[in-house]
Amino acid sequence: MTTSTAKSTDRAAYLAGVQDGMPFVLMAAPFATVFGVVATDAGLTLAQALGFSVLVIAGASQFAAVQLMVENASIAFVLLAALAVNLRMAMYSASLVPYLGQAPMWKRVFVAYLTFDQTFIGSVARYETRPEMTIAQRVMYFLGLATPITPVWIIMTLVGILAGTAIPETWALDFAIPIMFLAMVAPIMKSLAHVAAALVSIGVALALVDLPSGTGLLIAAVAAMVTGAMVETVMERRAR
Partner 1 sequence: MNYSTTEIWGIILLLGAGTFLIRFSFLGLIGNRQLPPVVLRLLRFTPVAVLPGMVAPLVLWPVATGGDPDPVRLTAAAVTVIVAFWTRNALWGMGAGAAALYTGLGVTALF
Q: Please select the residue that binds partner 1; options are 12, 18, 42, 211, rule is CB under 8 A.
A: 42
Between 15 and 185, CB nearer to partner 1: 185
- If binding is defined by CB under 8 A, does position 215 make contact with partner 1? no
Q: Per this entry, what is the length of the chain?
A: 240
* Window 220 to 239, contacts with partner 1 (CB under 8 A): 220-222, 224-229, 232-233
The answer to whether 25 and 149 are in contact (CB under 8 A) is yes
Between 56 and 158, CB nearer to partner 1: 56
CB of 4 to partner 1, least distance (A): 27
CB of 128 to partner 1, least distance (A): 8
SS3 74: coil
Q: Please select the residue that binds partner 1; options are 16, 125, 163, 167, rule is CB under 8 A.
A: 125
- If binding is defined by CB under 8 A, does position 186 make contact with partner 1? yes
Does residue 72 come out as left (phi exceeding 0), alpha (psi in the -120 to 50 range) or beta?
Answer: left
Between 8 and 174, CB nearer to partner 1: 174
Between 13 and 220, CB nearer to partner 1: 220
Between 8 and 233, CB nearer to partner 1: 233
Closest CA to 54 of 124, 140, 143, 114: 114
Residue ranges of alpha helices (H) inside the chain are 2-21, 24-42, 46-51, 59-70, 75-86, 88-100, 105-113, 117-129, 135-163, 176-185, 192-207, 215-239
- If binding is defined by CB under 8 A, does position 92 make contact with partner 1? yes
CA distance 34 to 158: 10
